[in-house]
Structure formats: C-alpha cells, structure tokens
Amino acid sequence: MHKKVAILGLGYVGLPLAVALAKKGHEVFGYDIHQRRIDELRRNYDRTLEVDEASLDKYPLHFLDTVKDMAVADIFIITVPTPIDDQNKPDITALQEASKTVGSLLKNTQGKIVIFESTVYPGLTENICGKIIEENSGLVSGKDFFLAYAPERMNPGDKKHHLKNITKVVAAQTEKVAKEIAQLYGQLNNHNVFIAKNIPTAEAAKVIENAQRDINIAFMNEVTMIFNEMDISIYDVLDAAQTKWNFLPFTPGLVGGHCIGVDPYYLAQCAKNLGYNPDVILAGRRINNNMSHFIVQEIKKKLKTSSEKTSSILILGVTFKENVPDMRNSKVQDLILLLKEAGHDIAIVDPLACPEKTKSCMNISLLKKIEGLKGKTYDAVVLAVSHDDFKAISITDLKGLLKENGQVFDIKGFWRKACLPEKGFNYWCL
C-alpha cells in the first residue's frame, strides 16, 4: 500500500531516503529549513552528491519550503542533524524544532506515525521528542499517534553500503506499528529489516555503532604515536598484523564528520545522566581530537620551523572524509588552523569542498584542481584526505609541487609503496 510520507531534513540521510521511497510509488513531501537547499533540489541538483540529477528529475517528489503542505502525510520521518555544542554536549535544537513542527501538523488527527532517524541517546525519542509532540498537538503518544525509531546507517560517499543493501533496524511503541514501518523500509532493501525489542534498544544500538568505531580508531591513533617515536610506520605494522584472520581492519587518521566524531558524546551524556563516568568513550574522543595536534607537531619537527622561520604548505583535501564535499567537523580544518596560527602560508586543493565555506572558515581561497596552482612550489605537501581525484597525482607531479628537498606528509599512506626519488625529496607517513 502506498503512503504519503513527509521527510523533515533533506541532507545526506533524508534526500536518498526520499528518492528511494518515491521510487516505490509513495507520495513523498520533503522539507528543509534552508531555502537554498530546496531551490537546488527543485533544479535537480544535490550538493551532497548522494543523488544524481536523473533520479531527482525522474521520480515525483514535492520539495516544500513551508511545512503546512506536509499535514496530509500518513508518516513523518525526521532526519535532522544532531550535532554537539562548544562544550561537546548534545545539541538537540533541530530535533526539538522538528518535533514542534510535527506536533503542530498532527492536531485533530489520529493514528499517524512519527519516525526518528537522527542519532540520539536512549530515551530521548519518547521522553523528550514525544513529549514535545504531545504538547504541540494536544494528542497522546502511543494512543493518538505513534512514535518509532529507525536509526540511519548512511555512510556518505560510500556507494557499496547504501539503503538498498544494508540491514535496517526499526522499533516502535507497538508491535503493529513496528511491523508497519518494517514493511515500509523493507521495500527499499529486499526486506532486510531487524525489529529491535523497543525504541530505547534501537537508540542504544545506533549510538554504540559509531562509538565502537571511534574507540577502535583511537587505539590505532595511539599506537601510531607510539610507533612514530620508534620510526615505525603504522601502515607497515598493519600490513603484517592484518594477515591474522581475526585482526580488525581499522586504520589511523583524523576522525571528524557528523557521526563518528559526534555520536560518542551522546553516549557519554547518557552515561553522565545516570551518574556514570564513561572513561573509555571519552578517552577515545580525547585521543582522536588530539591527532591533528600530533600531526602538526610532526610537521614542525620535520620542517625544523620556529617562530623565526615559517613555511609554505600545500594541503590536499579539507573535507571530513574522502570523496564527499562535507566539511562539517573536519579535523583537517583544525590542522590547517593550527598551522596558520604558527605563521605558515597555507594553500588548499580539494575537488569537492565548497570554496565559500573554506574562505569563511579559514580565510583561505580554495582551488579545485592542482593545475590551478600554476607552477607554484611549496616547502611541504600534506595529503590529508584521500579523494579519488588525487590518485592521478604521480610522484613526478608531486615532486614538481615541492621546492628542493621539500617534504611530503602522507597522512593516509597514499604513496608509501611508490618508487620515491632518492634525492631532493623527503617523505613521511603515519
């Protein structure tokens, strides 16, 4: 049976979901608070690069800039961001506002379903969002309308693990509603759906998924720092260690973005609310947040810079991960700001990042292509993000970007197995 579905939040999660549901014949209403986003989508342009122009043009989607037109929906799905504030505490403002909006649309209705996909800590959906909806609708949760939680598992830039081929976890206030939304999402992934015991269980499952990754990467970052003092590359160590059948394939790096770098703080807040101090979770966050400082110190040591001597440094990549344009919570940005504070002259090349964003956040003009450097050379080149576009840079090209005896800092181990020049070229990787 086809449904009328309203989706609040049209980012990396909401837009692909909207398109997938429209493909299955559901009437989909998409809303986003950013007018520019709505205007772009109406022109079949997705700046996140998750949905192509043909898909936006082919399937019937109603992109709305006012919320009132969503009132006809049977199901409301909330996919707004849940970031952290300057104190690393959960900022649920967008979630609260979306709940208010849905509450206002539910007045004088019965039996509608409100699904939350945003990352939260256990209890937040029912105890906070549900209460807000009740206050703004005059209805009773679990009786007049029904709450559900279906945590997103999107991985921006990952074309392998997508809606159609990943397991979807769902939970709801009643068994009947859980089965109904399992049927809805099951249409998108060949019914590969797991119904969790209840909403808090599904919330907890989501928040530990990224916290687990964060902790494992923190371990890799910590041993990287240890081995660096012994002049041992972590990548060489991993080549050996990964030959064991049960070794987990995590790698070191700058952990940012709006999931792995954020979700552990939601779990930590949940623990603190219970009077428990989450040692391991926050230790992982401290190590990963310190990684940009560690790399900057290595750059300073290798370049032998001081307050009297600074260098010109080219940064390759500024987004929070490879092959996405998203710069939110990018730890590369932290690295760049630390280098700028030390007085270094910074240039950035990133084929996907937004030039306006780079200018406003770091006061640096972004170039999209290496060719835009027009023969300039640098004391150092830092490979910070392994975009596919950078694979075209040969060692000859790389050397051409450097001054004599320039230094390459290969954070991602991109060129470590390449045939490197013996003279006039210095190379370092994690």
Q: Mind giving me the DSSP string for 80-114?
A: ----B-TTS-B--HHHHHHHHHHHHHSTT--SEEE
Whether 370 and 404 share a structural domain: yes
pLDDT score for 60: 81
Q: Mind giving me the DSSP string for 227-248?
A: HHTTT--HHHHHHHHTTSTT--
Comparing CA positions, the residue from 367, 380, 374 lying closest to residue 339 is 380
pLDDT in tens, 279-311: 999 999 999 999 999 999 999 888 875 445 778
Whether 141 and 191 share a structural domain: yes
Whether 166 and 17 share a structural domain: yes
The pTM of the whole model exceeds 0.85: yes
Provide φ and ψ at 406, rounded to 5°. Answer: -70, 170
Task: Give the residues across from 90 on adjacent strands.
Answer: 84
DSSP SS3 for 128: helix
pLDDT in tens, 114-142: 999 999 999 999 999 999 999 999 999 99
pLDDT score for 372: 84
Cβ 267 vs Cβ 278: under 8 Å: yes
Last residue within a domain, chosen from 259, 289, 319: 289
Q: How does DSSP classify residue 66? A: S
User: For position 312, which CATH number holds?
Assistant: 3.40.50.720
Comparing CA positions, the residue from 108, 112, 165 lying closest to residue 5 is 112
Whether 187 and 268 share a structural domain: no
C-alpha–C-alpha distance, residues 222 and 250, integer Å: 12
pLDDT score for 269: 94
| Structural domain of 90 | 4-196
pLDDT score for 364: 87
Active-site positions read 259
pLDDT score for 157: 66
pLDDT score for 424: 75
Query: Residues of the chain whose pLDDT is less than 50?
Result: 306-307
Last residue within a domain, chosen from 267, 289, 311: 289
pLDDT score for 371: 85
User: For position 271, which CATH number holds?
Assistant: 1.10.1040
Q: Could you give the C-alpha distances from 341 to 273, 300, 334, 378, in angstroms and in order?
A: 37, 12, 11, 18
What domain count does the chain have? 3
C-alpha–C-alpha distance, residues 223 and 86, integer Å: 28
pLDDT score for 306: 47
Comparing CA positions, the residue from 37, 193, 210, 5 lying closest to residue 118 is 210
